[in-house]
Amino acid sequence: MAIPLKTQTGESKAWEILGGLDPQNVCSKAKVTYDSSFNIYTLNSFGQAIIVSMAGKTIDSDSKESDLLLNKLGDYSRLSILWYLINAKDIAFSKKLVRPENLKGGNIYSKGTHVLPLGRIVDKYGSDIEGFLHRGVEIGSEILNYGDVSLRLFPLPRVPVTIILWKGDEEFSPRADFLFDSTCEHHLPVDILWSTAMMSVLVMLS
């Protein structure tokens, strides 16, 4: 299971812990690369190469999506990326999908500001399936066969998320479902998984 963060959820603590880890182990566990000449990790997030500089304690990217991911959504992405590098395990996807609220401690997803804004996904894409797929392809997603249309997004290499869109009919209203691979709890604690989930939904809405 992922290291519990308790009160140590800040970026400064994450940088400190990450700096004490063996880069070779981090790379094998997190599916990232490391350049010892520049002391940087490179990982893939939503199809983008993200550069984590240990010397400068910065997270950057030259991709066209970098301003969205690292600046506008920086409060979610920075913590997700750093704690992922610390916690990730060399575990294959189970391909068993789980709802966030069914995770240990997942009750946070059903309260107040922690409720994922999936209604906005429905509002934006409920009548625009092609737009949903186009946005997914733009950010390196895989097209799946769940619901009326679905995507597997990769916010982090070992933490895929699935968004399923249902158009609705005379009996049921349109809806969007968000699911993690069941292995997610091995890579991140529940509060950082929430940041990863929020980041994923908001990237689709941008």
What pLDDT, in 10s, does the model give residues 87-98?
999 999 999 999
Single-letter residue type at 33:
T
Residue-level pLDDT at 171? 79
Question: CA 102, CA 115: separation in Å to the nearest integer?
Answer: 14
Whether residue 67 lies inside any domain: the answer is yes
- Examine the pLDDT at 135 and tell me if it is beyond 90: yes
Where does residue 141 rank: exposed (0-12), middle (13-18), buried (19+ CB within 10 A)? buried
- Examine the pLDDT at 8 and tell me if it is beyond 50: no
Contact predicate 33/27, CB 8 Å: yes
Question: pLDDT of 26-41, one tens digit each?
Answer: 999 999 999 999 999 9
Question: CA 126, CA 164: separation in Å to the nearest integer?
Answer: 11
Whether residue 2 lies inside any domain: the answer is no
- Examine the pLDDT at 51 and tell me if it is beyond 70: yes
Per-residue pLDDT band at 64 (split at 50, 70, 90): confident
Q: In the listed set 31, 53, 87, which residue is the last one of a domain according to the structure?
A: 87
Residues 191 and 105 in one domain: yes
Residues 105 and 71 in one domain: no
Residues 75 and 116 in one domain: no
Question: CA 72, CA 41: separation in Å to the nearest integer?
Answer: 22
Q: Which residues contact 170 (CB under 8 A, 6 or more apart)?
A: none
Residue-level pLDDT at 167? 86
Per-residue pLDDT band at 65 (split at 50, 70, 90): confident
Residue-level pLDDT at 63? 86
> How many domains does one find in the chain?
2
Q: Which domain holds residue 64?
A: 11-87
Residues 52 and 104 in one domain: no
Q: What is the mean pLDDT of residues 114-140?
A: 95
Residues 102 and 196 in one domain: yes
**Percent of the chain scored above 70 by pLDDT?**
96
Residue-level pLDDT at 157? 98
